[in-house]
């Protein structure tokens, strides 16, 4: 088994009060309805055990469960790390949600490092990391869409950042951009035979 880790960072301004965003992010019954592949959360004090459904990675389906030690500083931050007492678990997440007041609502920043042991050799890390990033990006897109729908609000790209939930003004469609800014493809003009656009 080899441990593989990917990191996901994103930020956005969500057009909802900070209290509402906080309530959504700290509700263990709601989070499985918002988060793809998250089946259930069991709460035991500050220990939350996350149960995921089968996630595809390079032809392999994994369904990890892992215990997180949660630290809540209402209403500004949620910090979590894998329970060091659960060395038997083969997956874990370390990260932080930061919520700040913003003129348009709530400035939400997310920083996650997801680790999982998989039966692939270390030489396969580039391919495994690419696959994991694809899964995490898809989960982020679905989560952001579901969160905005739940809050009944819109989210906009944070000025100066190339990532975060972006909502079109007309229909609230979201693009979740992760880790690094993505370059926009160059527009191509189609020309007629006469050579005019």
The pTM of this model reads 0.76
- What architecture is the 2-177 domain classified under in CATH? 2-Layer Sandwich (3.30)
Question: Which residues have CB under 8 Å from 86's CB, separation 6+?
Answer: 66, 67, 92
Question: Which residues have CB under 8 Å from 92's CB, separation 6+?
Answer: 66, 68, 81, 82, 83, 86, 115, 116
Tokens, residue 197: 């656009």
Question: Which residues have CB under 8 Å from 55's CB, separation 6+?
Answer: 37, 61, 62, 63, 64, 135
How far apart CA 21 and CA 132 sit, in angstroms, is: 27
Residue 104 is predicted with a pLDDT of: 82
Residue 115 is predicted with a pLDDT of: 97
125-151 vs 18-25: helix crossing angle, rounded to 10: 130
* Domain range list for the chain: 2-177
Give residue-wise pLDDT tens across range 125-178.
999 999 999 999 999 999 999 999 999 854 444 443 333 343 323 233 333 333
- Is the pLDDT at 71 greater than 70? The verdict is yes
Q: Which residue has the tokens 């441990």?
A: 3
- Is the pLDDT at 196 greater than 90? The verdict is no
The answer to whether residues 44 and 29 touch, using CB atoms and an 8 Å cutoff, is no
């Amino acid at each position: 088994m080899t441990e593989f880790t990917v990191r996901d960072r994103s930020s956005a301004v969500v057009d909802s009060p900070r209290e509402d965003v906080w309530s959504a992010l700290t509700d263990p019954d709601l989070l499985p309805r918002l988060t793809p592949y998250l089946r259930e959360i069991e709460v035991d004090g500050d220990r939350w055990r996350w149960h995921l459904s089968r996630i595809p990675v390079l032809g392999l389906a994994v369904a990890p469960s892992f215990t997180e030690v949660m630290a809540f500083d209402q209403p500004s931050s949620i910090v979590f790390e894998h329970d060091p007492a659960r060395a038997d678990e083969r997956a874990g997440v370390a990260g932080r949600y930061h919520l700040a007041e913003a003129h348009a609502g709530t400035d939400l920043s997310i920083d996650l490092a997801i680790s999982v042991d998989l039966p692939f050799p270390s030489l396969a890390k580039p391919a495994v990391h690419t696959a994991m990033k694809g899964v995490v990006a898809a989960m982020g897109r679905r989560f952001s869409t579901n969160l905005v729908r739940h809050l009944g609000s819109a989210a906009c790209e944070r000025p100066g950042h190339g990532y975060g939930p972006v909502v079109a003004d007309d229909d609230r469609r979201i693009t979740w951009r992760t880790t690094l800014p993505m370059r926009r493809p160059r527009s191509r003009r189609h020309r007629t035979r006469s050579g005019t656009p």
